[in-house]
Structure formats: structure tokens, C-alpha cells
Chain A
Amino acid sequence: MEKQLIVDGINETLSEEFELGIDKLTPDAHLFDDLGLDSLDAVDMLVHIEDKTGVKMDVEQFQKVKTLGDVYDLVAEVSSQSKLN
């Protein structure tokens, strides 16, 4: 999946499910500090992103992400690896 499609898909999901303004969804936005999300939201974000992109991420890997840019990168990386496999 192209990176831009991933970014757009994630942003659309976060905007719909977590009531976040699109203008706030920048790569350097910190999930907890800037977007006001917490650990429960992070768990639900995994489910929503999997539903939207079809990319299944490892929970331990996802726990390391801090910013929205980290989320984009992780989804893109897992997506490309699953294509290779």
C-alpha cells in the first residue's frame, strides 16, 4: 500500500473514531500529549487501523510508537513486509 494511502486512511479513521480535527493530525503530533489519547484509545486504534487498512500490527511493536508519524511508518513497514512474505 502506498504511504500516502496509509496516511490518509489512518487520518480518516482517527478523525472519525476519536473526534480529532484533521488539522491536528500531523506526523509530529504526540499521541498522548498532543492528541489527548490514552492506553485504551491506543488499543482501539489498533483495531480501527486493522479494519481500515487490513494491516495487522504486533501489539508490542505498536506500544513503542509515540507520534502519529511513528504510526504511519509502522503501518507502512508492516504492510510492505507482508507483501514480501
Chain B
Amino acid sequence: MQKVCITGMGLVSSLGNMPEELFSELDKGSCNFKFFEEWESYNGLETFVAAPAKEFDDSSLPRNVRRSMSRMSTMAYDATKSALKDAALSVGRNSEENDLFKPNHHRTLVIMGSTSGSPIFLEKYFKKMIENGGPKGQLSTSFFKVMNHSVAANVALALGYSGPLISPSSACSTSSQAVIMGAELIKAGLYDVVIAGGADELHYTSVSVFDVVKASSKNYNKEPLKIPGPFDANRDGLVVSEGAGIVVLESESHVKERGGKVYAEFMGGAYFCDGIHMSQPQAEQMSTTIEMALEKSGVSASQVDYVNAHATGTKVGDLQEALAIKKAFPGQDIPVSSLKGHLGHSLAACGSTELIAMVEMMKNKRMIATRNISSVTDEFSGINILKENVNAEIEYAVSNNFAFGGMNTSFVIKNLM
């Protein structure tokens, strides 16, 4: 069975658009949570905080490509372009980048998705449909911005990529599922190269989803930088952000043959739907997912040095995940942190973005602690929730991501730097 290597990384995030910049900001404990005064006018909304992405450059995209792209598609394209450049690969049909390796496009897969087509343009699309009592006035390109596979299709169009393409969608576990599925397909020998990840854009309707189920932070609207971090005793909910995280996965034989660099080995992962409740996290099923990921990876719990938690800052979710980690890593007092207190929750982008952050932690031999965490209740005993950044070698790390619908995912990576 082929080994899977991580050979390229690209992102757009609320803390920077280069992996090195992301790590530097995480290390400083930075956070880009902002108060959105204009959201106060939305009837019923109580959360007015979110984390917008840093500026990114989409000026190189021609109009006839941009016309069908939403913000999430342009972010995904920017991250994909960066990831391919980082991997020194080119997948465009007419690419003239002679210094980049061109993989066989029959054995290359693009797999990326988002939570929905585009909340920004979905609102515009249906608003016009309702106002006009039908499709009068709709542009031909409107639907291409809101269809569920808009991100994947637009990235392919913008790259000039002709080849296999899959668009998964499972909200906050979209990109972790994409990466796990991509790695499994390389292991199965079907592809040499997989470009995997996800993207989501900020919009008040996405925030509303969490507001309605009482899962978003509401008590610190005017002081967003004081929002307690995940696992903190006073946590009051999550903060929605936006971005795109894209990684290049490659079979070991392919990257060796072309002489490419390798960051880490993607050991394996698992996705496991609990089928019990649409929104209540289930510790037992989460722990099964982690154990399955370890088993598929051939890695024992005792070999793992660090767990990057999904923990978003909700009362129930953080606790259920902590219980799951405790069960999967018994008696280890394993170091655990969540990056949602720095980055916010970028939904479909979070799994792959956190994967990139984990690789940077491995590279810099430093574990990033959860931001804004002062006290932890006894419920969390048995795992080592990091309150301060720690210098440490990380050989094996586990990442968790969970989503509405009981969509649990976990994966394991190994440091090869």
C-alpha cells in the first residue's frame, strides 16, 4: 500500500495567508475577532462577532473566470495556487510554468468543498427570486456561484485543470473528510497526487445557524478579544470565521521520483457518523472515530504526542470531545489544544487549515496552546489542556473535526521534517 505524503500547503485565514505567517500569529496568541455593528439590525440575531479573513489577491483572475466565483471560491483558488506552488506542482492544461512538475492529470484528484454554495450569493439569488416572483432578472452566472460544488468547479476552471474532481460537503468536517478520502484513494493506488481541502465565506446567515442553536458567543460582542477560549470554564460559544485550507497529498513513490520535499506523512484517518443526534456531540462515537483513525494509521495511542482538538468553545461540544480524547488516550495526560480561539471557526476550511497549523507546529517544535484560557473545570481532568505554548518535538499528532449531523472525523500525521 502506498504511503501518503503532505507536500504542499496553502491557505487564506483570519490570521494570515502563508503557513509561516499563520504559525507566527498563533505563537503570538493573535486573534482577528471583530464586532460587526451592522449585524445588530438583523431580527433575532444576538451574535455580532466574527473573524474575517486577511486580504488576499485575486487580481490575476480574468473576468470570465471571476464572474462565476463567490468569495469562498476565490479564497479556495488562492489557497490552491499557493499549495501547488509550495509543492512545486502545476496542474493547469496550458501552464507555462516550466519550473514546476506536471503530474499525470489522469492520476491527479482535486477534492474540495464547502458547507453550502455561497451564503452571500444564495441570499441575493433567492431575494431576487422572491422580489420578482420568479427568475426575471437572474444572471446566468448567479447559479454557478451558489451550486453546491461551486468551489471545486471554480477552482478547476481558474487553474485550467482537466481531471478527476470530487466536491464533498459535510459542513465543519468537509475538509477533513476531503483530506482523509484523498489519502485513502492514494493508498488504494488510484491517484499519485490529491489536492484536498475546503473553504467557507463569512456571512451573517452562517453565524445565525449557530446563534439559533445557542452555540455562538453572545456575551462579549463589544469586547471580542476577551471571548473565553475553547475548554475555558467561562466559554460561551464559538466565533465564526472564514477562509480556505488546501493541502497537496502525494504518494511516497511519486514525490521521491520527482524529487519533491515532504513535510509529513498522512498516516490515516476515519470518518464515522454517530447517527444518534443531529446537533448533540457524542463522546462515545467521537472516541470510536479517534480509535479507528489510530488503527487505520497503524499508530498506537501511546505514540501520539499532541491532539489538535476541534473544540469550538461550546459548553457541550468541548466537554464531549475532552471525554472522547480521555477515553482514546487513557492515562496519558496527553497535550491537547484548540486553535478556534485564535482563528475562529472557518467551518468547511477548519480541518485542512488546522492540519497546516499542525505541520507548522511540528516544523517549529512548538505546541500552540488554546487562546484565552484561564481556568478549566475538573470535568476536563485526565487530559493536558495546554494553557501556554510549549517547546516540544512532535512526531505523531492527531486532529479531530466534527460537524452537525454527527459527522465525526479524526486523522493522524507523522513528522518527516
Contact = CB atoms under 8 A, between A and B. Distances in A.
User: Real complex partners, A and B?
Assistant: yes
B64 A36 contact: yes
A47 B139 CA distance: 7
A40 B137 CA distance: 14
Judged by DSSP, the binding face of B is loop
B41 interface: no
Interface size class of A (residues with CB under 8 A): 10 to 19
Contact of A18 (B63, B137, B138, B140): B63
A19 B67 CA distance: 11
A43 interface: yes
Nearest to B139: A44
B140 A40 contact: yes
A41 B138 contact: no
A36 B137 CA distance: 23
A47 B138 contact: yes
Interface in B100-150: 137-141
A28 interface: no
Contacts of A38: 64
Nearest to A42: B140
Judged by DSSP, the binding face of A is helix
A40 B141 CA distance: 7
A41 B64 CA distance: 9
B137 to A, nearest CB: 6
A40 to B, nearest CB: 5
A33 B141 CA distance: 21
B141 A51 contact: no
Contacts of A41: 64, 67
B141 A19 contact: no
Given A18-B63, A38-B64, A51 B137 contact: yes
18 contacts: A18-B63, A19-B63, A36-B64, A38-B64, A40-B67, A40-B140, A40-B141, A41-B64, A41-B67, A43-B139, A43-B140, A44-B139, A44-B140, A44-B141, A47-B137, A47-B138, A47-B139, A51-B137
Interface of B: 63-64, 67, 137-141
